Structure formats: C-alpha cells, structure tokens
Amino acid sequence: MGLIQLDSRAAALIGVVLIVGYVVSTVQQWARLRHFKGPAIACFSQLWLISRVGGGRTHLDLWEACKKYGDITRVGPNDLITSDPDLMKHMLNVRTRYKRSSWYDAMRLDPTRDNVLSQRNDCLHASTRSKMAAAYSGKEVDNIEITIDENVQRLLDLLDTKYISKGRPFDFGYKAQYFTLDVISALAFGEAFGDLETDSDVNGYITAMEESMPTIIVTTVMPWIIKLLQLPIFKGMLPSQKDKAGVGRVMAIAKRVAAERFGPNPKVQRDMIGSFVSRGLLQHEVESEILMQILAGADTTATAIRATLLYIISSPRVVHAMRAEIEGAKPSLPIVTDAEARAMPYLQAVIKEGLRIHPPVVGLMSKEVPRGGDTFKGQYLPQGTKIGYCAWGIFRRTDIWGEDSDGFRPERWLYCSEDKLRLMEGTLELVFGYGRWQCLGKNIALMELNKVFVEASSIIPDPGCQESMTYINVSLVNPAF
C-alpha cells in the first residue's frame, strides 16, 4: 500500500514538474520576443504559422499579418517575418553574420544530401558556390544562348503547328513548364527532357511536384518531419530511383548522368556538369546539384513567365506598347538576341513589373539572428530568432512602389526620378536573393524571360478580341516555395 502511495505521489510530482516546466518555457518564449506584435497564438505556438504555410495562400496571409502588425511581425514562438527590404539586405549582405535556418533543410530533394540551396554550413556553401559559379556565368559552358534559342523555337513551333494554326485551345501554363524544364536539362547535362518535343510531362516531374509541394512547404516550418521520414518505417514514402515517374525518376536520371562523368572513361562535355566536375565537385555532389537545378531553375522561371504573361494579356495598353517597341526594334530572326531584348526599355519594365507584382519565390527562407543578438532600427533581435521573408509585403510597399502598388504598371519604371528608380531596382534585387545567397541562375532566368516575351508577343491575343482570347489559357498556381 505504501509503495502505491509513493508511486502516485511521485507521478503527481513529475506531473507538477512537467506542467511548471511547460509554463516556464512558454513564458520564456513569450518574453524573448514580447516587443514584436503578431497573432496572439503565435506567442506560444507554431499553429498559426503551420496553418498558414499549409493553407495554400501563405504569401497573402503573411502580407496581411505585416499590414496589421508592422514591418516585423511575430508569427511563432521563435519566428518573425519582415516586409522591410532594409532588414532583408542587412541579413543577406556578403559580410552578414546571420545564418540559414532549419527552413533550408526542406530544400533537399534527396533528404540525405545537401545542395547549394540547402547547405547551412557557411564554409561548405561558399566552397560549393565557387565551384558552380563559372558554369552559371557561361564561361565554361558552350552555347547557353543558342540552347535557349533552340527551346524557344521548339515552344513556338509546338504552339503554332499543334494549336494556334488549328484554332485549338491550349494551357500556356504547362507549356511554360515544359520550356523551362527542357532548357535547364539541356544546359545542365546536354540532354533536354523532351517535354516540348512530346508535348507532355515526360518524366512525370510536374505532376509529382504539384502533389508533393504542399508537404515540402509544411516541412520548412516543421523540420523534424524530415528526420522522421528518414526512419526505415517511412522511407517508402520518399521518392526512389526505382520510381517510373516523378522526382524519383529525375533522381535516377541525375545519378546516371553524373556517373557518366566519373570513372575510368568519363564523358567530357562543356556543359554545366562538365564545369562542376572540372572545378572539383564529387559525384554525389553533382547528383544533388542536378536535382536542385531542376527545382530552382525550372519551377521558378516558369512561374515568372506564367504570371507576367497573365498580367500582359490582361492589359491592352501593355500589349500595344510592347508590340510597338518590338516591331520598331526589328529584332533578329528567328529569335531575338539577349542583347537586343535588354535594349528594349518597355520590355525590361514589363519584366521588372512582372517579377515585382508576382515574385516567383515567396517562401520564408528564414535566417537566424547571430550569437549575441542584433539591433536593427532600434529593435533588439535575440540570438537564434528566425526571421523570414514576406515577399508580398516588400513588393507592395506604397512608400517604394507608389499608391498603385497593387496594380501592374510597367510605366512606373520608366517615368520616375533617378533616386526612385535606384530605390526600386535595389529592392527588386531581393527577388533573386541578395549578397551571399544571390541566385546563381539569375542571368539565365532573365535571358529566358527576355526571349520568351519578345517571341510570345506574336501569339498574344489581340486586346478586346474575344475570339482570340478563347484559345489561350494561362494557368497560374501559387509561387512554389
């Protein structure tokens, strides 16, 4: 009887200790960021953030939170978001002491291996990035522009011969994805997937990503799920190189292509992989970077193409102005050169405005405050705090973009003071990352946009002509991550 009483007292004591510990921990969590406003539940739980990230409208929910609570808003016990571009640049500059947070762990398409996007070790990230830079700059890759031209022509031929000439409707959203997947695969390892040639999602990659992206996005704020999925009991849920389609199929392609560049008789080719190998990337590193190239290089650029085209065809004024400039420039045939496109002011304004009003990447991409904490504009940021990116908030600030920041108006880039233009262009840089973590593929993505919009101007429906609007649909999904 005495033992039973002792056990019950011990259990009660343990329960009290656990409750007290939880209360103390909760109060401490609340206290360390109490000077930042946000949803009440966010002070004590990640439920608000998880529900928003998993709800399909993250970019809008975060923007609404920043509008309500301020440029720095609390969205979790240890999570802040910011719509202040100055803070973003402060965190991302080349000499920053801020680190990548656990958000980036979800960027491993192969959960067991890091890539240049997921790598959180600064030294390893810098080393990998330096080995990849020459390939993205074009210094060690033959015919980047020619490869893009070939795929632009395939896109135009597909649309004309199979759809437009026969009056058949088509969804340009998917064609844009076929185009960007073929471009990045051709540049990466000299072998396009063949989506444009077959007018299909050859490897099932697009379908797989549409199905898995919601899960990937949730794991960015619940990184423990990634570790859980690596347990033997759950491994069957992950992509496998034995899969006949989807991400697993692409993993198998990456493994095969990487293996061809190593061994006793390696294949030597002046493409991106060839540059990676010559600069010292190991075989397993090449596999990981191929996968990341496809995710980061195809999905984001396709989103930029789809979104911007949707805004273009929705504005007769923009269509007329674009066409007039392109016709007056008399660009090269069959495909405009990148230099010619960059010399078209209105086109460049359209591209900038498209990237601004619908940034292709809107994930938190949280950074951690360095040891010792930091103070920004008089506000103390405790060490270890995660600060995420509120893209919609940054690119709709009326103090930067004007009172009509919700509208698509390319002219804002053409008719403004030099100081205003400098401010807008400096802020727009955040679309491609900034400083230490700027996107390596920025120039390639811009080249694709330059060429696609010039050449697509000939297939854009005539403004006001309802009949011409019936054959083109631009599906628009939320930005990927």
Average pLDDT for runs of 10 along the chain of length 481: 58 56 55 91 93 88 97 97 98 96 89 90 95 91 94 97 92 95 91 95 89 86 84 77 84 90 90 93 93 87 95 95 96 96 99 98 96 97 98 98 97 98 98 94 97 93 54 46 50
Encode pLDDT of 369-411 as tens digits: 999 999 999 999 999 999 999 999 999 999 999 999 999 999 9
Q: What is the Cα–Cα distance from 320 to 326, expressed in whole angstroms?
A: 10
Q: What is the pLDDT of residue 477?
A: 43
Please give the Cα distance from 185 to 150 (Å, whole number): 13
Residue 383, pLDDT score: 97
* Side-chain half-sphere CA neighbours of 339 within 13 A: 1
Task: Report the pLDDT value the prediction gives residue 470, as an integer from 0 to 100.
Answer: 42
Q: Which residues are 367's β-sheet partners?
A: 100, 387
List beta partners, residue 170. 472
Q: Is 99 exposed, middle or buried (0-12, 13-18, 19+ CB in 10 A)?
A: middle
Residue 37 has what DSSP assignment?
-
Over residues 201-236, the pLDDT tens digits come to 999 989 888 888 888 888 999 988 888 877 778 777
66 known ligand binder: no
- Sheet with 386-389, edge to edge strand ranges: 72-76, 79-82, 386-389, 367-368, 99-100
Tell me if 397 sits within 8 A of 405, measured CB to CB.
yes
Determine the distance from the C-alpha atom of residue 439 to the mean position of all C-alpha atoms in its chain, rounded to a whole number.
Answer: 10
Can you tell me the distance from the alpha carbon of 65 to that of 78, in angstroms, rounded to the nearest whole number? 16
Class of domain 33-473: mainly alpha
Amino acid making up residue 143: N
Number of DSSP helices (H) and strands (E) in the chain, helices first: 22, 9
CB 334 within 8 A of CB 47: no
Q: Which of 384, 429, 397, 371 is nearest to 88 (CA)?
A: 429
Q: How far is CA 289 from CA 115, 117, 132, 335, 345, in A?
A: 6, 9, 9, 30, 35
Other C-beta atoms within 10 Å of 447: how many? 22
The residue count for the chain: 481
